[in-house]
Structures are given as structure tokens and as C-alpha cells.
């Protein structure tokens, strides 16, 4: 056998995630591993909680990172909050809304689906109507930033409507956290999950998660046990809650948590508002360049995500051939279309460390040359 070390090339990642990782984050990852119950590590975990609270703009004591990717954060919300028989309104305007529906059903819940066109934000009017038609719904689930289409939904308004109808909210903020305003406390969102590898520019495999007191109350009033042992947050709480109570639940991904800590220190040092503005600036630069190339956006201007630009593939252009050329000649990855947009759109990510003028310039030059 002649298998040797795997040495990947230096790609520029401008797809839907993972995004380019900050060099400081990669360095943090390679620091010495300590025991996951080591007092120094526990101190780091407490800081990590505070940094996550800042990123989410929340005071929720239950603010942690699930030791698994964004999909596990999604699942953690559904398995803890949805009990068999619960009726859940699921807003579907892309791939991830459909996954939410799937989660509800696997928890024994009843999903009522509100559909919006791919590329459109979730319509508050349709949500209001569905809640009027189904007064027994007790949870509203929606995706804040739909990575499959590049559409941003109005989380504040959707949460207001949900509250008016006495519903809790489950919010997918995997792509929004760090890239666009997300104000968990001000908007009174209840269960919000994210991912480490999108606008935080950390390594993949961790899912920031926060629960409001109302969400915790619903979990504590459950009549049935959460069917997943690993994702049962009442068990995880003992590990993250500190005050000398920390006990073993599972082995924390020690080095990955160093990396997340570092990524969040960088975000805190930059300041959330500045990070949001940087994403917006990069998006404006990209947009100006794409318009010169005659390329059209999938999403209407008002609900476009700066960090995920879905654009129509120009007529007569071979989707896979162009993406392959970008990868081979420029070491540049852009995303293919998903679901209803497969073969019709590309997705250009400007996430976290990738939301920079250099990346925009590289992408525009590579696209222009390749399309010729």
C-alpha cells in the first residue's frame, strides 16, 4: 500500500459553504489537545458561550455549540420541541424548509406546509392565514437565510405573527449568523440554530444553538422522552451549564471548539455591524461586476442575501464545464444549483473571511474569462 498524507490544494471557496477559513482559525485548531473536563478547557467553554451570545445577540443562558454540523442543530430543535401530535407550521421556500418538514414528521408531529416560490422570501401573509386556519398549531419553523436560493426572509415579522398566535419559533440561521442582522432577543426567537462553516468561517462540524426560556419551558413540560439520546438537550445542559456541575455527556470535539472560539473572537473584535457591512460591500462589488457581464440574479433585490448570490447560468453555457474550469484553472469553487434550481443557477458565496474584494475580483475575472 502506498497511501501517504493527504495534502489538499489551496482552493478559494465561494460556494454555499464551507467558506474559506480564517488562517488564525486553522492555527487554533492545531493547538495541543487538553482533556474536555480540564479546568482550562471549561474556562474556554464559558467564554465560547459568551461569544455565541454576542453573535446571536441574546442573553439566553442556553446558548451552546452542538458537537455536529448544522443539520444536527436543526434536528436538535425539532426533536426537543416537537412532541408526537404537535402541529407545526413549516415555511418552505427551498431545500432546507423541506428538511424541516421531514424532521417534524420523523418526530411524530403534523406538518402544515406554507409554500413559497424558490427564490422568494417566506410570505408573512401566508403564515398569518395558515395560523388563522389552524388554531391548534403551536410551533412555526422557517429558514432565515435560504442557502439553496439566496433569499432572506423577514424573521422579525414572522416571529411577531407566530407570537400573536401563541406559537414558538424554530429558526434556521445557518447562513445568516454573522452575515446579516440576526437579533435573537429583540425579535424574540425561541429556538435558533446555525453552522460553523458559513459566515463564521470556522471548520465544518459544529452547530451554534440557542433556546429561549419559552423553548426550555416547553421541553421541560414534555410528556415523552426525546427520542434521540445524543440530541436530548436536557442531558447536554449539565455539560455546558458549569458551576462545578460539569459532567461527562460525550467527548467534546476539543480542537474544533478552539477553532470556533477563535472565529468568534475575530467576529467580536471586528464587531457584528462591521461584519454585516463587509458582507454587504462585497455583495455590491460582485453585483456591479456581474451586471457588466449581463448576468441576472435569481432573487429580487429587496430580499437578496449578500452572502449567497444565486445567479442564472447564461443561455447556452454548460454548467458543469464552467464550474470544472473554475476549479481546475483558478482553484475556485462556486456552488451548483440545488433542487428546483439545479442546472439553472450558480451560487456564489461571500461568507465570512470570503467576503473580501480580492475574492470578488478573482471570481469576476475567472467567470469573465471562462465564459468567453
Ligand X SMILES: *Cc1c(COP(=O)(O)O)cnc(C)c1O
Of residues 170 and 219, the one with the C-beta less far from ligand X: 170
Q: Is residue 337 a contact partner of residue 4, using CB atoms and an 8 Å limit?
A: no
**Candidate segments 58-66, 114-122, 169-177, 267-275, binder of ligand X by CB under 6 A:** 169-177
Distance CA(122)–CA(120), nearest Å, equals 7
Question: 5, exposed or middle or buried, with CB in 10 Å at 0-12, 13-18, 19+?
Answer: exposed
Window 55-94: residues binding ligand X (CB under 6 A)? 69-71, 74
Q: Is residue 337 a contact partner of residue 347, using CB atoms and an 8 Å limit?
A: yes
From the list 21, 51, 100, 143, which residue makes contact with ligand X (rule: CB under 6 A)? Answer: 143
Instruction: Dig out the grid coordinates for 81 from the structure.
Output: 420541541
Of residues 96 and 346, the one with the C-beta less far from ligand X: 96
Strand partners, 113: 90
Picking from 333, 353, 183, the residue whose alpha carbon sits closest to that of residue 262 is 353
Distance CA(300)–CA(152), nearest Å, equals 10
- Binding string, 199-228, against ligand X, x = CB under 6 A? -----x------------------------
Least Å distance, CB 67 to ligand X, is 12
Residue 156 three-state SS: helix
Is 285 a residue that touches ligand X (CB under 6 A)? no
Is 17 a residue that touches ligand X (CB under 6 A)? yes
Least Å distance, CB 248 to ligand X, is 25
Q: Is residue 226 a contact partner of residue 79, using CB atoms and an 8 Å limit?
A: yes
Query: How many chain residues are in contact with ligand X, going by CB under 6 A?
Result: 13
Instruction: Dig out the grid coordinates for 42 from the structure.
Output: 471549561
Is 352 a residue that touches ligand X (CB under 6 A)? no
Is 349 a residue that touches ligand X (CB under 6 A)? no
Strand partners, 348: 309
Is 142 a residue that touches ligand X (CB under 6 A)? no
**Candidate segments 168-176, 219-227, 251-259, 295-303, binder of ligand X by CB under 6 A:** 168-176
Task: Give contact residues for ligand X (rule: CB under 6 A).
Answer: 17, 69-71, 74, 96, 143, 147, 172, 174-175, 195, 204
Amino acid at each position: 500500500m502506498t497511501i501517504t498524507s493527504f495534502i489538499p490544494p489551496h482552493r478559494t471557496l465561494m460556494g454555499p459553504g464551507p467558506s474559506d477559513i480564517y488562517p488564525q482559525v486553522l492555527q487554533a485548531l492545531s493547538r495541543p489537545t487538553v482533556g474536555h473536563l480540564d479546568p482550562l478547557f471549561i474556562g474556554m467553554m464559558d467564554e465560547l458561550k459568551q461569544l455565541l451570545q454576542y453573535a446571536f445577540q441574546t442573553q439566553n443562558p442556553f446558548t451552546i455549540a452542538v458537537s455536529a454540523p448544522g443539520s444536527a442543530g436543526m434536528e436538535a430543535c425539532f426533536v426537543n420541541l416537537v412532541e408526537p401530535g404537535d402541529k407545526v407550521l413549516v415555511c418552505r421556500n427551498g431545500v432546507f424548509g423541506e428538511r424541516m418538514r421531514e424532521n417534524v414528521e420523523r418526530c411524530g408531529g403534523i406538518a402544515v406546509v406554507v409554500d413559497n416560490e424558490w427564490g422568494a422570501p417566506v410570505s408573512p401573509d401566508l403564515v398569518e392565514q395558515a395560523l388563522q386556519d389552524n388554531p391548534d398549531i403551536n410551533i412555526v419553523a422557517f429558514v432565515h437565510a435560504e442557502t439553496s436560493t439566496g433569499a432572506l426572509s423577514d424573521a422579525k415579522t414572522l416571529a411577531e405573527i407566530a407570537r400573536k398566535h401563541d406559537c414558538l419559533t424554530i429558526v434556521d440561521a445557518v447562513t445568516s449568523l454573522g452575515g446579516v442582522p440576526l437579533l435573537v432577543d429583540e425579535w424574540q426567537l425561541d429556538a435558533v440554530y446555525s453552522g460553523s462553516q458559513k459566515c463564521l468561517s470556522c471548520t465544518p462540524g459544529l452547530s451554534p444553538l440557542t433556546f429561549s426560556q419559552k423553548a426550555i419551558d416547553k421541553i421541560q413540560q414534555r410528556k415523552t422522552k426525546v427520542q434521540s439520546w445524543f440530541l436530548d438537550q436536557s442531558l447536554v445542559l449539565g455539560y455546558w451549564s458549569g458551576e462545578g456541575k460539569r459532567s461527562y455527556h460525550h467527548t467534546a470535539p476539543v480542537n474544533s471548539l478552539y477553532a470556533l472560539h477563535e472565529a468568534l473572537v475575530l467576529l467580536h473584535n471586528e464587531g457584528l455591524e462591521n461584519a454585516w457591512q463587509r458582507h454587504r460591500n462585497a455583495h455590491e462589488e460582485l453585483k456591479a461586476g456581474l451586471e457588466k457581464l449581463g448576468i441576472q440574479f435569481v432573487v429580487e433585490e429587496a430580499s437578496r442575501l449578500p452572502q449567497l448570490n444565486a445567479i442564472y447560468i447564461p443561455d447556452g453555457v454548460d454548467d458543469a464545464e464552467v464550474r470544472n474550469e473554475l476549479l481546475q484553472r483558478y482553484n475556485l469553487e462556486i456552488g451548483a444549483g440545488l433542487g428546483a434550481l439545479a442546472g439553472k443557477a450558480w451560487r456564489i458565496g461571500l461568507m465570512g473571511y470570503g467576503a473580501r474584494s480580492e475574492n470578488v475580483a478573482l471570481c469576476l475575472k475567472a467567470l469573465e474569462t471562462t465564459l468567453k
